[in-house]
Structure 1
Amino acid sequence: MEKSAFQDIFAGSTSYCWGCGCNNQYGLQLKSYWAEDGEGTICVWRPQAHHTAAWPDILSGGIIASLIDCHSVCTAMMVAHRDENVAWSSEPAIIYITASLQYLKPTSMAHPVTLRATVREQTERKMRVECGVFSQDEVCARGEVIAVRLAPKT
């Protein structure tokens, strides 16, 4: 059985997100999956030359923030759907948005980056997702995203 990226099974407007939207041809095109070890999620993404910061071969901090943000929020949504046994096509959809985000240091563009995210705390309305950015198995950045469940309009 072939596993699908979270972003490929999203429906509606989320598929046009600049960071993780599968239907945004100008975006980063993140592809996130459940980690094989069962602990959290994983995404491998290759930087392009135009993703640089002011210094050659250093990934833009804004790109790093977008990677952490999108992978972490996708993780929160997938965990909520899995834990509540709700299909993606269900209405209203379970949607999370970023309430806060922090990130650390420069990341080389010489190799693909790997994102690993894990939900560390979960309440009815919020999830605290920790996400690491790795290059060649070395941690380059860490982020903590507080993802807040968006209540559907009634």
Structure 2
Amino acid sequence: MPSIQDLYAPEYSHCWGCGAAHPYGLHLKSYLSSDHTYCYCHHIPDAVYTGGVPDNLYGGFIAMLFDCHGTAAAAALYLAAHGEELTADSLERFITAHLEVDYLAPTPMGTELEIRAYPVEVTDRKVILSLELHCGERITARGKMVAVKHHRPTAE
């Protein structure tokens, strides 16, 4: 099954966090759950992304995970809410309008993380998401995102 990011149009594939075409990026991969009720992403951060406290993940990196995964999740969950299939042709790009992060506990390095995004509200132009960062059995951060549909510029 291709990731949501694998379905992005080429002009939207250059993000450092999730763009498949970025030569130095992380190439995050997000997936729609089999029941279409949430999206998930797995990632093990490199040691270079430790924060001010050794062996803990930098908080800005957590915000980036929520941002990149959240916009991909918004696009997929928008289609799911409207009863449409997730394909390269149907996928529209969403961008972040608002992101807030609550850090609940330190996130240790060297552990596979799971980022989950759940739809709270889906309208014709925006998706509001609830986000969770899972480190094993523990949730170490929660977030809220408002993502809006990006409209491609029209040729004049």
Give the TM-score of the pair, scaled to structure 2.
0.87
Moved more, 19-28 or 62-71: 19-28
Corresponding residue number in structure 2 for 1:85: 84
Aligned partner (choices 6, 12, 15) of residue 13 of structure 2: 15
Q: Contact between 1:9 and 1:88, CA under 8 Å: does it hold in 2? A: yes
| 2:12 counterpart of 1:35 | no
| 2:70 counterpart of 1:107 | no
CA shift at 1:107, angstroms?
A: 1.4
Q: Contact between 2:29 and 2:42, CA under 8 Å: does it hold in 1? A: yes
3-state SS of 2:101 partner: coil
CA shift at 1:13, angstroms?
A: 2.3
Corresponding residue number in structure 2 for 1:53: 51
CA deviations on 1:84-124 (whole Å, 9 max, x unpaired) are 6374236xx62211011111223111311101111110111
Q: Contact between 1:41 and 1:117, CA under 8 Å: does it hold in 2? A: yes
CA shift at 1:63, angstroms?
A: 0.8
CA shift at 1:37, angstroms?
A: 4.9
Alpha-carbon distance between aligned partners in 2 of 1:56 and 1:37, rounded to the nearest angstrom? 38
Alpha-carbon distance between aligned partners in 2 of 1:127 and 1:37, rounded to the nearest angstrom? 18
Alpha-carbon distance between aligned partners in 1 of 2:35 and 2:137, rounded to the nearest angstrom? 16
Moved more, 6-15 or 79-88: 79-88
CA shift at 1:35, angstroms?
A: 2.0
3-state SS of 2:96 partner: strand
3-state SS of 1:8 partner: helix
Moved more, 48-57 or 21-30: 21-30
| Amino acid across the alignment from 1:136 | G
| Amino acid across the alignment from 2:139 | V
3-state SS of 1:108 partner: coil
Aligned partner (choices 60, 63, 71) of residue 65 of structure 1: 63
Alpha-carbon distance between aligned partners in 2 of 1:112 and 1:127, rounded to the nearest angstrom? 27
Name the % identity.
35
Q: Contact between 2:118 and 2:129, CA under 8 Å: does it hold in 1? A: yes
